[in-house]
Amino acid sequence: MQFTAEIIAGYLGGTVEGDKQAAVGSVAKIEEAAAGDLVFLSNPKYEEHIYHTGATIAIVNADFQARQALPQGLTLVRVANAYKAFASLLDLYVANKPVKTGISPLASIHPSARVGEGVYVGEYAVVGENAVVGDGTQVWPQVYVGDRVRVGAGCRLYPGVKIYEDCVLGDRVTVHGGTVIGGDGFGFAPTEDGSFQKIPQIGNVVIEEDVEIGSNCAIDRATMGSTRIRKGAKLDNLIQVAHNVVIGENTVMAAQVGIAGSTKVGSGVMMGGQVGVVGHITIADGVKIGSQSGIPNNILTPGVTVFGSPAYPGLEGHRIQASVKQLPELRRQVGELAKQVRALQEQLAEGK
């Protein structure tokens, strides 16, 4: 399907600079685009590519000013926020893709399970006893939906997702391949003989509406009660959420974050990649945590930015990291000063 610059600008509320009838049929990265492609530019780091792109249409911010000549034939669509506008176009593109429906004869659905209208269940997927799958949900091949699991409407469970018994997913939840929801929390009690006795994990996981979870994540069930991910949260790939953790609304986490048990993460929190959080602490709303930071204690000030391991507030964390790089030189200087002090002490001793 082809879209003209005029149609795109009308949909996004933007303006056209160039040929209004220029048409595109696909999207591409700005540095790899060819004729007929649509691209966008929002990050200044990629600006150099717009002067050499082969794309037909580029979405740019309204205040974008070219520093050199643009490629001949490139049409610009200027909008208030190019990144957000491009995301809206991708939403439109995905919404118009064919939607899989129907239940494969190779799927296994327990007679007591309830499957809604317009559901897709792929090959070798399993829907367990008394499970519920809501209207319009897509259960891709080799997904396991355990006994008494409740999956809301409009969800997408991609290949290899495993949801253990009694867990609950709200409407419009997306879970990518390989993720396990509801595996046992890491609970073991030391015994007198030095071994460890397993503590039964009898809770569940509750994932609220509009959550997206990446590939190969592990969301552990609660020892008692629920591990809970509140609505709108977004988790990247390879994330570990331990038993009884609560993640607040619209919180986002980059890859390889690990959160230990019973920690409470507020709403609107942002965590960079490889952040590690100890158990049984609280992180306030709106906190921003830099990549590879270690969080050993409560962060109770809303909206604060922290960085480092252990993490320190804002610029203090960056100053500490900068100081670490200077330690070899500081050590050398201290050694020289120690020699000078010893020499002075010897001179004073000789003077007596």
Q: How far apart are CA 173 and CA 145, in angstroms?
A: 14
Which of 52, 110, 176, 243 is the catalytic position?
243
Q: How far apart are CA 44 and CA 138, in angstroms?
A: 38
Long-range contacts of 295-298 (CB under 8 A, 24+ apart): none
Partnered with residue 48 across adjacent β-strands are: none
Q: Is 52 a catalytic residue?
A: no
Long-range contacts of 149-153 (CB under 8 A, 24+ apart): 152/209, 153/116
Question: Measured between alpha carbons, how far is residue 258 from residues 73, 167, 209, 276, 335 in Å?
Answer: 48, 21, 22, 5, 40
Residue 57 is encoded by which pair of tokens?
Answer: 């249409």
Q: How far apart are CA 243 and CA 264, in angstroms?
A: 11
The string of DSSP codes covering 109-138 is E-TT-EE-TT-EE-TT-EE-TT-EE-TT-E
Angle between helices 314-325 and 327-351 (to 10 degrees): 60
Question: Measured between alpha carbons, how far is residue 7 from residues 13, 89, 90 in Å?
Answer: 10, 11, 15
> Is the CB of residue 205 less than 8 Å from the CB of residue 182?
yes
- Picking from 43, 15, 17, 18, the residue whose alpha carbon sits closest to that of residue 30 is 43
At 319, the amino acid letter reads R
- Determine if residue 10 is left, alpha or beta; phi over 0 gives left, psi from -120 to 50 gives alpha, anything else beta: alpha
Q: How far apart are CA 42 and CA 101, in angstroms?
A: 37
Active site residues: 243
